[in-house]
């Protein structure tokens, strides 16, 4: 298990990135939580076979979500400019 904290502004990748060309085949999970004093954020995933990232929803301060990283090249989050927020992330594996 690996934990880290990200500062999210506009479009920020919590895991992976926009230029990743290979989708991960693994049993890893990404658990992420918006800081209690933060701002609401939109989040989604990117797969290498998709032209555009797919938005999955919105999380408000204190809310969290867990994604299975199988076949995903990136997990992104975005906050409306000029706001920012902190997101705690944990990669969970077998």
pLDDT tens-digit readout, 11-28: 999 999 888 888 777 889
pTM: 0.90
Over residues 5-13, mean pLDDT: 93
Distance CA(85)–CA(39), nearest Å, equals 5
Distance CA(46)–CA(71), nearest Å, equals 9
CATH number at residue 34: 2.60.120.1380
- For the chain, the domain total comes to 1
Looking at residue 26, what is its pLDDT?
Answer: 81
What b/e sequence results for 46-60 when a residue is b if at least 16 CB atoms lie within 10 Å of its CB, and e otherwise? beeeeeebeeeeebe
Q: Is the dihedral of CA 48, 49, 53, 54 positive or negative?
A: negative
> Domain containing 60: what range?
2-92
């Amino acid at each position: 298990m690996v934990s880290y904290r990200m500062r999210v502004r506009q479009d920020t990748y919590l895991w992976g990135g926009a230029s990743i060309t290979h989708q991960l085949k693994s049993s890893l999970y990404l658990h992420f939580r918006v800081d209690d004093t933060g701002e609401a954020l939109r989040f989604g995933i990117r797969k290498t076979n998709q032209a555009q990232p797919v938005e999955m929803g919105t999380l408000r301060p204190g809310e969290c979500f867990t994604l299975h990283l199988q076949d995903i090249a990136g997990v992104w989050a975005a906050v409306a400019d000029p706001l920012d927020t902190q997101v705690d992330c944990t990669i969970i594996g077998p």
